[in-house]
Amino acid sequence: MGVRNCGSLLWLGFAGMGCGGSQGDEMSRAPVPLSAEAAPGSTVEEDSREVTAQACPAGVASRVKVVMTPGLGEFVGELTNVQGTLYFVTTTYDTEAILWRSDGTEAGTVQVKVFSSTPGGFSLPTDLVAVGNRLFFQVYSAATGNELWTSDGTAAGTRMVEDITPGAGSSSLSNPTDVNGRLVFFRRVPVPGGAEQLELWRSDGTATGTLRVRNFRGFSGLSYDTLKVGNALLFFFSQDTGTTLWRTDGTLAGTTSLKQLDAEPVIITQVNRTGDPGVFILKDGPNHEVWKTNGTAAGTFRLDAFGKPVGLLGTLGTSVYLESMENTTTKRLRIDRLSLNGGGKTFITTLPNPYGAGEDAYPFVQHVALSGSDLYFSLAIGSSGPAPVNVALWATNGTAAGTRKLDDTLFQGDQYWSPVFATGTGQVLFSANPVYGGPVPPYFTRGSVATTGKLADVSGPDSFTRAGNRIFFTAYDDTHLRQLWSVPASFSCPPGLTEARE
């Protein structure tokens, strides 16, 4: 989830209160210790440690440039890495959208193209995707409708690729992905009677190199989720004739049906986004089936089935980790492991839920990141309202003893979820709300309470993206607007957090 504005208030801290949080709910700020340990195969219990936070000195993270002007700023987002150069988009209250690029310096953060939103103008560029040294995105204009665009980082080199649907009609394009150095995407074409026809396309950024690869006439039920495995894009069709896994390398010959997963139409509920193995979950009646694929028919098989809803935490080594609610009484999150080679489930642990007696106090995972030998995840506890009563950051190395709570002050809103971002250098970035109703600063951790601390005095960090040797993000700062910030991908701050037993 991204951050949304709440009127003119800086609702992530500078206005002094949250938006969509559980204001007045004492349970939402109940003190919970920040670390836990357990014996293998047991339930993680709380301990009595207190923690005093320390912060990075000013300047470790810094504002790149003021890209939002007071009175005009509205949106900063779509941060995308193109071979070490950052691209992003801003808008200014219904007057224009701007595509930017940045090398991490103020002088090197420049406007690439201004898309005027005056009558007959353009909309906000969306679905930014890097392919080689080029950026692809979609833009709507009154003259051409929604179409595919590309940019090489210059104004002259930022242009529409092709008016795929000629004239003012829009092209409905989805799932843009870099496959073998070309953009591969799907196009939905309306047909009489209210149905639609699905087409697979590819583009090299030129009109002549933008081609329809295959017309899936008679196919329907394309899943929203796709998988990138090796040099192929995997996708799913769920229709009356069954649910089938397909692959494409961007060519007609390389676009083939791999395997029928079920004789009935079923839903693909989740795909793995934290590691290389192709893992996905499908819902078949009351069962949630966990599958693995390497992009071949022989390498696509069911690992196991659960008779209840389960979600993917991610993969570590030769195992995939699943999360589910233990039962409707304790409402604790349960973690299980499956071998990627098959062989049945292994119970790891359950996590405490001090609110389990509440009717709607169910646990759910918001975001997950893989860093080193640990999976990091933000765990929320639901409430009767739209906002959770508690959100905590956890990490696990796949064992009960190595499953620990790092921070339990993540923001409790329903319109903003704390990012959980692995820098690639051993640190994970997230946001916390240590003073309820106050700012929501960015935090860092190296996997323990003692290596967790505040990164900078800004609020509501979002869209963490690595480009080159820097991590970029957006945040509200002293301009009272969301601006572009960055921090080195590898940084060192004072000792971190100090712990004291009562």
Residue 457 lies in a domain: yes
**DSSP symbol at 446:** S
pTM to 2 decimal places: 0.88
Answer yes or no: are the C-beta atoms of 267 and 282 closer than 8 Å. yes
Token look-up 């959100």 returns: 391
Q: pLDDT tens digits for the chain (502 residues)?
A: 333 333 333 334 333 333 333 333 333 332 222 233 333 344 554 443 344 456 799 999 999 999 998 766 678 999 999 999 999 999 876 678 899 999 999 999 999 999 887 666 678 899 999 999 999 999 998 889 999 999 999 999 999 999 999 999 999 999 999 999 999 999 999 887 777 899 999 999 999 999 999 999 888 899 989 999 989 999 999 999 999 999 999 999 999 999 999 999 999 999 998 767 899 999 999 999 999 999 999 999 999 999 999 999 999 999 999 999 999 999 999 999 999 998 889 999 999 999 988 889 999 999 999 999 999 999 999 999 999 999 999 999 999 999 999 999 999 988 899 999 999 999 999 999 988 888 999 999 999 999 999 999 999 999 999 999 999 999 999 999 999 999 999 998 876 444 433 3
Residue 18 lies in a domain: no
Q: Give 73's strand partners.
A: none
Question: Exposed, middle or buried, 502 (CB in 10 Å: 0-12/13-18/19+)?
Answer: exposed
Residue 21 lies in a domain: no
Residue 4 lies in a domain: no
Residue 2 lies in a domain: no
At 366, list the tokens: 């918001």
Q: Would you report the helix, strand and coil content of the chain in percent, each value rounded to 5?
A: 0, 50, 50
Residue 11 lies in a domain: no
CATH code of residue 368: 2.140.10
Question: Considering its fold, how many domains does the chain have in total?
Answer: 1
What stretches of 372-410 adopt beta strand conformation (E)?
374-381, 390-396, 404-407
Residue 61 lies in a domain: yes
Total residue length of the chain: 502
Residue 233 lies in a domain: yes
What is the rounded distance in angstroms from the CA atom of residue 281 to the CA atom of residue 440? 34
What is the rounded distance in angstroms from the CA atom of residue 320 to the CA atom of residue 262? 22
The range of the structural domain enclosing residue 118 comes to: 28-37+44-501
Of 356, 414, 407, which Cα lies nearest the Cα of 27? 356
Answer yes or no: are the C-beta atoms of 247 and 228 closer than 8 Å. no
